[in-house]
Amino acid sequence: MNKKTRTLSFIIFSILSLLALFFSFKVEADFNFEQFFPDGDPDLDYFYEFISEFETDDNFLLVGIERKNGIFEQDFLNDFHDFSKKAKRLPFVTSAQSITLLQYPQKTPFGFTASAAVHRNRPEKFEQDKKRLLEDERFSGTLISEDANSAVVALKLIDNIQIADSRVLMGKMDSLLLSYPFENTHFLGRPNFQKEFIDLQFREMGISTLVSGFLVLLIMWFIFKRGWGVFIAVFSIAIGMLLFVGMLGATGRTLNVMSALYPVLLIIVGTSDVIHVMSKYIDELRRGTSKKDAINITIREIGIATLLTSVTTAVGFLTLLSSRIPPIRAFGLNAAVGVIIAYLTVLFLTTAILSLFKVDQVIQLENRKSFWEPFMDWFYHFTKKYPKRIFVGILITLGLCFYGMSLVTTNFSIKSNLPRGQKITADYIFFEKNYGGFRPFEIAVTAQDTFTARDYLVLQEINKVEQHLKKYSAVKSSNSITSAYKSMNRAFHGNQLSAYQFPENENDFKKYDRYLNKMPAASLDVLISKDGKKARISSSILDVGSDTIQQVGLEIDAWMKKNTDPNIATFRRTGTGVLFDKNEEYIRDSILQGLGIAIFIISILMGILFRSPKMILISLLPNILPLLIAGALLGYAGIELESGVAIIFAIVFGIAVDDTIHFLSKYKLTRDKGKSIDESLYVTFLETGKAIGLTSVILFFGFLVMLFSINPPSVTVGIIISVTLASALLSDLFIIPVLIRWFYKNDL
């Protein structure tokens, strides 16, 4: 590299770094449940139409308050009531409900009056109030726990509350709760999830960056044993990270729930590129090549191989664009761009900096054997001497893989993927155990022909469906327009519990309907559309797993089709729960589709590089095995295949091919110099085998950094990728030489 080229490189990277630093402060985090809705799905279109006529099914915040000795204590109830009223006045809250705000309608000779459900200042009535609430299906398990040791303030919020507003609301809520002597409080709802998950992402990115950075420092010191050598490597990786973050800010991209993977990916991919470049540079110096020639040879030989590995890694990530889930697509695109940024930074900046330093400032040049040489020598002789053993080992591994893959489940549950040891997880479990859970379960009702949603026959059909839902223990707290008529029927029968039923005859129904028409329309707006043609059945379902929930949904669909009259009303499941669970269906399809595209594109690249069908097969076959191993590990470990875990396959394939390219590129270069197959393989093992061994160790421990995460999907991704990439290295070192000797046995 001449002085002019080096100066130009420094100027370009200085300007880019300053711009990146400026734009990095513009990067924002975002977490919306809508991000995980599958684009282009007909159920999504129907859902948007549904909420345009009603409201979203996640516009709530539940505040659960515990008292271990029971909530029916005067001071507690007064504090709870005061909190309920003040919570209603918080920003972005439109209404509030709790047992102390609740009133029962009572029929009197003079009309209807209301009586409090809880007589806060009359302790002698507490047992009566408690019994009545716990026996009432509308409130037991929704506003009061079945053991009466906790109660909920249910806050209705504005639709689609965003992160900035969520932070304001949760901040005000925390301040308000501090003014009361409550024992334990729990939150469940969109604003709490938004705030906690975004805070989690920043925390995870910070921890993974620090731990990965420390790991890189240790490895670089082990390799170079010179301060300047370590500085050059780490500085190049850091600049690549800065340029990547600046790119996110400049293009207006936001950080989402998958962003915690970016630091680990960029650091270890950048480190891998640095090691390949610097290892080649050092090998040339050890041969006595001049510094200038060593850099030129490095750029010429390793630059092309590293370009191909970067492109194949980027292709692996770009396969995620086939997903219908926007955060996965965004992750794939961003990661692919990041890989190319890391490559360009290492190739041009690292080599430019290297040219500034004397050889002994960068590394200790020793003539003793490399630490890796004995291992590579063993691999070379083993593959030459025992090819049959290797084939048998492959067949056994394949058998274990196919069995493990048969155990993979997509029965995704929210609980198993929440951060470990965090309040948000404890809160979620509290509501799952004591209340109706978090997952919405909505059924849209459309009145047919001349019927309206408040006609007696339509409401009979709705009531039929609601009664059927009660047969499923996972489905909780069903609510619809029929609840108003059931409550009216109960009021007309002295508020007897058994009278909470839909009116048995049309005359009673019409009588109740006249009373309901006198009530404010707003109380029914959330249950009936403005044109009166549509209604909703709103329920929640416990977090029993997406496959289980889907099976329940299909059973309900079949029952409704068979037992309701489509000439009166039609029923269709909808809501965020349906859309979340559909994600898991698309994940399986997108994985296969994406990998198929990746294999096709990489086959073309291999064909361009090696111009031989045999070499294409040799390069691809060892990289199919690690994918099978990744799938098998999911099955044996009982890990659910969900969106966060699905990216494993793109990462594994994209990175695993890198070592293969470096190995075969070196083999081809050596063969082109006239050496025999065995001589070329031996040279490749000693030179490139060392580099891919070292980079694989870095990748292995780099992804294991994710063990420090409190987010289970991140831990899973880290472990599975680390183990799988280790298997990819072994596949290259064992399988490629055997395949080369087998395909080219006539040339031996």
Q: What is the per-residue pLDDT across 160-195, written as a single tens digit (0 to 9) for each?
A: 888 889 999 999 999 999 999 999 999 999 899 888
Which residues are CB-contacts of 199 (< 8 A; sequence separation ≥ 6)?
A: none
Same domain, 97 and 202: no
Same domain, 200 and 315: yes
User: For position 209, what pLDDT does the model report?
Assistant: 79
Name the least confident of 83-87, 273-277, 530-534.
273-277
Which residues are CB-contacts of 687 (< 8 A; sequence separation ≥ 6)?
A: 283, 666
Same domain, 574 and 606: no
Q: Rounded CA gap, 17 and 691, in Å?
A: 29
Same domain, 555 and 605: no
The percentage of the chain sitting over the pLDDT mark of 90, rounded to a whole number, equals 32
- Domain edge (last residue) among 141, 157, 182: 182
- In what helix (H) or strand (E) does residue 66 lie, and over which residues does it extend? strand 60-66
If you ran DSSP here, which 8-state letter would residue 350 be given? I
Distances, alpha carbon 32 to alpha carbons 326, 554, 579, 695, in Å: 11, 27, 14, 37
Instruction: Choose between 613 and 587: higher pLDDT.
Output: 613
Which residues are CB-contacts of 384 (< 8 A; sequence separation ≥ 6)?
A: 678, 737, 741
Instruction: Choose between 732 and 48: higher pLDDT.
Output: 732
40: in domain: no
Same domain, 363 and 315: yes
Give the residue-averaged pLDDT of 702-712: 80
Q: Which of 95, 70, 206, 223 is nearest to 148 (CA)?
A: 70
User: For position 46, what pLDDT does the model report?
Assistant: 84
Q: Is the predicted pLDDT of residue 54 greater than 60, yes or no?
A: yes
Q: Which of 682, 575, 641, 705 is nearest to 214 (CA)?
A: 705
CB 728 within 8 A of CB 623: yes
Same domain, 204 and 312: yes
Same domain, 394 and 503: no
Q: Which of 448, 576, 513, 543 is nearest to 160 (CA)?
A: 576
Q: Rounded CA gap, 298 and 440, in Å?
A: 58
235: in domain: yes
Instruction: Choose between 441 and 39: higher pLDDT.
Output: 441
Q: Rounded CA gap, 391 and 624, in Å?
A: 15
Same domain, 317 and 463: no
Same domain, 204 and 310: yes
- Domain edge (last residue) among 556, 580, 604: 580
pLDDT tier, 427 (very low <50, low <70, confident <90, very high otherwise) = very high
User: For position 3, what pLDDT does the model report?
Assistant: 79
Which residues are CB-contacts of 154 (< 8 A; sequence separation ≥ 6)?
A: 60, 62, 96, 97, 98, 142, 143
Q: Rounded CA gap, 195 and 32, in Å?
A: 10
1: in domain: no
User: For position 702, what pLDDT does the model report?
Assistant: 77
Same domain, 600 and 569: no
5: in domain: no
Give the residue-averaged pLDDT of 529-541: 89
53: in domain: no
Q: Is the predicted pLDDT of residue 430 greater than 90, yes or no?
A: yes
CB 333 within 8 A of CB 253: no
Q: Which of 349-358, 418-427, 598-607, 696-705 has the highest mean pLDDT?
A: 418-427
540: in domain: yes
Give the residue-averaged pLDDT of 284-307: 80
pLDDT tier, 522 (very low <50, low <70, confident <90, very high otherwise) = very low
If you ran DSSP here, which 8-state letter would residue 161 be given? -
Beta strands in 183-291 (DSSP E): 184-189, 254-255
Instruction: Choose between 508 and 33: higher pLDDT.
Output: 508
- Domain edge (last residue) among 560, 580, 600: 580
Per-residue model confidence as pLDDT tens digits over 591-628: 667 677 777 877 887 777 777 888 888 888 888 888 88
Number of domains in the chain: 3
Q: Is the predicted pLDDT of residue 109 greater than 70, yes or no?
A: no
Q: Which of 606, 649, 702, 580 is nearest to 273 (CA)?
A: 702
Q: Is the predicted pLDDT of residue 369 greater than 70, yes or no?
A: no
CATH code for the domain of 704: 1.20.1640.10
Same domain, 712 and 734: yes
Per-residue model confidence as pLDDT tens digits over 67-88: 999 999 999 999 999 999 999 9
191: in domain: no
585: in domain: yes
Same domain, 666 and 729: yes
Domain housing 91 = 58-182
Chain-centre distance for alpha carbon 449: 44
Please provide the average confidence, as pLDDT, over all residues in the chain: 84
Instruction: Choose between 122 and 27: higher pLDDT.
Output: 122
